[in-house]
Amino acid sequence: MAKIKTVFVCQECGYASPKWMGKCPGCGSWNSMVEEIEDRDKDRNPVLNIETTRPLTIDEIEITDEERYTTCMEELDRVLGGGIVRGSLILVGGDPGIGKSTLLLQVSKNISSTGKTVLYISGEESAKQIKIRAERLKVAAQKLFIVSETNLSIIEKYISDISPHVVIIDSVQTVYRPELQSAPGSVSQVREATSSIMRIAKNLNTSVFIVGHVTKEGSIAGPRVLEHMVDTVLYFEGERHHAYRIIRAVKNRFGSTNEIGIFEMKGTGLEEVKNPSEMLLSGRPEGVPGSVVVSSLEGTRPMLVEIQALVSATSFGMPRRMATGIDYNRVVLLMAVLEKRVGMQLQTFDAYVNVAGGLKLDEPACDLGIACSIASSFRNIPIDPKTVVIGEVGLTGEIRGVNFIEKRILEAQKLGFSKCVVPKENLKGIEIPEGIQISPVENIYEALDEVLGG
């Protein structure tokens, strides 16, 4: 076998050099030379099968339903679009210690228990360490193979010999190609490893999970092309000091990117949370100013979430604003609307807004709830604990309609809420369920009158 040669290529202009240089002679950019494997066979003209490579009209293309493997976790299957598609490449990212390895080991157990072969490859832990975690999680399966390896060439041989249905690689930053001189985790190594793994997944029709580390900013470490190469990108979120974890799809070629799955970390592993609204509202104080319940929609699932606000007089010239789980700029904007349209003098008050449970809300339907919680704390008037507030607030103080209002109202009714403040625009053509009072509002004045009594 001929020795594989490498070349350093500028990522800005494509200039190639046999050795690394700090500054590219072609375009003058610094630190843009990345090591790549030189393809000696690129000048050969392969014999193409004209029948299989000719362009087809869209009517000639035949499609079949993708074969999917269930993970035996409804929350994870929902995020994946119904299960693991054969031949797909899935990237799982998350902070250290968040539970990525625990989740994938449980997935390995569930898939292997259905009679399918799973190969778990770890580059960070030894096989004994994985066995210790497996005993804690009560993982016992005859078709679950464990190996600790980082050499990509050996990993390819293992996959070829075992021919598993599912492969898990933890993590891609530890895998390296021996022919490349750069260290594991570098741009060239991560890209080469992912490219080779992708070819294996497509050629053998094997589903592959790869774990990716994240940077301080929360994005997956390595080249951005890593996320473009894979079929699905999952982010595992949550505070390490809280028990609840959220898995979210930011890219999915086989399903929706709006779904989320919620898990609870326990001593025996991750357990699914079947009713997230009930979980997020547990322990909620009643009759306290600044607390309000809003209905947020994550994909097709409505969730009731508590928003808390604390407004207190400041002793400094510049009042402080702080937001946890909500966009800071959105909170500042809503406070400006309250000052200008309602007449609340908030410029001499500190404001702290928090989403209980560690969730992050980014949809406009929570605007009215944020504004009501701030006004409740400022006026020191509690909001009825059986009231749910829904609506988007405009800059002129109007309340705009939101989507899927019936799902939100039904979720509130199911959990025992008796009143729902909604935009007036949303009442057109919907069926109002029995047992819950609907209060339509057109602007921020009417909303505050409804929840605070004037």
The confidence score (pLDDT) of residue 3 equals 61
Ranges 42-46, 248-252, 419-423: which has the least confidence: 42-46
Q: Is omega for the bond preceding 88 within 30 degrees of 0, making it cis?
A: no
Distance CA 125, CA 157 (A): 20
Q: Is the pLDDT of residue 193 over 50?
A: yes
Q: Is the pLDDT of residue 11 over 80?
A: no
Distance CA 238, CA 94 (A): 9
- Which has the closest alpha carbon to 409: 427, 383, 384, 394? 427
pLDDT tens for residues 302-354? Answer: 899 999 999 999 988 889 999 999 999 999 999 999 999 999 999 999 999 99
For 243, phi then psi, to 5°, come to -85, -20
Ranges 2-6, 193-197, 324-328, 383-387: which has the least confidence: 2-6
Q: Is 295 labelled a binding residue?
A: no
Return the number of other C-beta atoms located less than 10 Å from residue 429's C-beta: 5
The separation between CA 384 and the C-alpha centre of its own chain, rounded to angstroms, equals 33
pLDDT level of residue 240 (50, 70, 90 thresholds): low
Distance CA 124, CA 431 (A): 55
| 341 lies in the same domain as 408 | yes
* Contact by Cβ (8 Å): 197, 210: yes
Residue 58: inside a domain, yes or no?
no
Residue 63: inside a domain, yes or no?
no
Give 352 or 212, the one with higher predicted confidence.
352
Residue 131: inside a domain, yes or no?
yes
* Beta-sheet strand order (sheet of 6-10): 16-17, 6-10, 33-37
The secondary structure of residue 183, as a DSSP letter, is P
217 conformational bin, left if phi > 0, alpha if psi -120 to 50, beta if neither: alpha
| 294 lies in the same domain as 414 | yes
pLDDT tens for residues 157-191? Answer: 999 999 999 999 998 989 998 888 778 887 778 88
pLDDT level of residue 438 (50, 70, 90 thresholds): very high
pTM, full prediction: 0.76
User: Which residue range forms the structural domain that includes residue 422?
Assistant: 282-452
* Mean per-residue pLDDT of the chain: 87
Ranges 95-99, 134-138, 149-153: which has the least confidence: 95-99
pLDDT level of residue 390 (50, 70, 90 thresholds): very high
> How are beta strands 244-252 and 232-237 bridged, if at all?
antiparallel
Partners of 9 in the β-ladder? 16, 34
Number of domains observed in the structure of the chain:
3
Q: Is 277 labelled a binding residue?
A: no
| 248 lies in the same domain as 209 | yes
- Examine the fold and report which residue of 244, 274, 304 is the final residue of a domain before the chain moves on: 274
| 245 lies in the same domain as 307 | no
- Which has the closest alpha carbon to 324: 387, 432, 242? 242
The secondary structure of residue 38, as a DSSP letter, is -
CA Rg, the chain, in Å? Answer: 27
Q: Is the pLDDT of residue 26 over 80?
A: yes
The confidence score (pLDDT) of residue 73 equals 92
| 440 lies in the same domain as 411 | yes
The confidence score (pLDDT) of residue 252 equals 92
| 265 lies in the same domain as 287 | no
Q: Is omega for the bond preceding 171 within 30 degrees of 0, making it cis?
A: yes
- Examine the fold and report which residue of 274, 309, 329 is the final residue of a domain before the chain moves on: 274
| 183 lies in the same domain as 305 | no
Residue 162: inside a domain, yes or no?
yes
The confidence score (pLDDT) of residue 86 equals 92
Q: List the CATH number of the domain containing 365.
A: 3.30.230.10
Q: Is the pLDDT of residue 51 over 90?
A: no
The confidence score (pLDDT) of residue 405 equals 92
Q: Is 99 labelled a binding residue?
A: yes
**Residue 258 tokens, joined:** 């709006």
Q: Which position has the token pair 């228990």?
A: 113
Distance CA 5, CA 24 (A): 20
The confidence score (pLDDT) of residue 49 equals 46
Return the number of other C-beta atoms located less than 10 Å from residue 395's C-beta: 11
Residue 380 burial class via C-beta count within 10 angstroms: exposed 0-12, middle 13-18, buried 19 and up: exposed
Return the number of other C-beta atoms located less than 10 Å from residue 215's C-beta: 10
Q: Is 29 labelled a binding residue?
A: no
| Sign of the alpha-carbon dihedral angle for 200, 204, 205, 206 | negative
* Contact by Cβ (8 Å): 393, 363: no
Q: Is the pLDDT of residue 120 over 80?
A: yes
The secondary structure of residue 75, as a DSSP letter, is H
Residue 322: inside a domain, yes or no?
yes
The confidence score (pLDDT) of residue 39 equals 59
The confidence score (pLDDT) of residue 223 equals 62
Residue 29: inside a domain, yes or no?
yes
Residue 200: inside a domain, yes or no?
yes
What is the CA angle 245-248-253, rounded to 5? 155
The secondary structure of residue 43, as a DSSP letter, is G
| 237 lies in the same domain as 304 | no
Q: Is 424 labelled a binding residue?
A: no
Would you mind telling me the total number of residues written for the chain in this entry? Answer: 454
Query: Which one-letter amino acid corresponds to residue 105?
Result: L
| 72 lies in the same domain as 24 | no
Residue 221: inside a domain, yes or no?
yes
> What residue ranges in 314-428 does DSSP mark as E strands?
321-324, 349-355, 387-389, 392-393, 399-400, 419-423
Q: Is the pLDDT of residue 148 over 60?
A: yes
Q: Is 100 labelled a binding residue?
A: yes
Q: List the CATH number of the domain containing 242.
A: 3.40.50.300
Q: Is 97 labelled a binding residue?
A: yes
pLDDT level of residue 43 (50, 70, 90 thresholds): very low
Distance CA 375, CA 11 (A): 52
| 216 lies in the same domain as 72 | yes
- Examine the fold and report which residue of 214, 247, 274 is the final residue of a domain before the chain moves on: 274
| 266 lies in the same domain as 349 | no
| 261 lies in the same domain as 379 | no
The confidence score (pLDDT) of residue 50 equals 43
- Give Cα separations from 328 to 296, 339, 442, 444 (angstroms): 18, 17, 25, 20
Q: Is the pLDDT of residue 218 over 80?
A: no
Q: Is 77 labelled a binding residue?
A: no
* Contact by Cβ (8 Å): 13, 24: yes
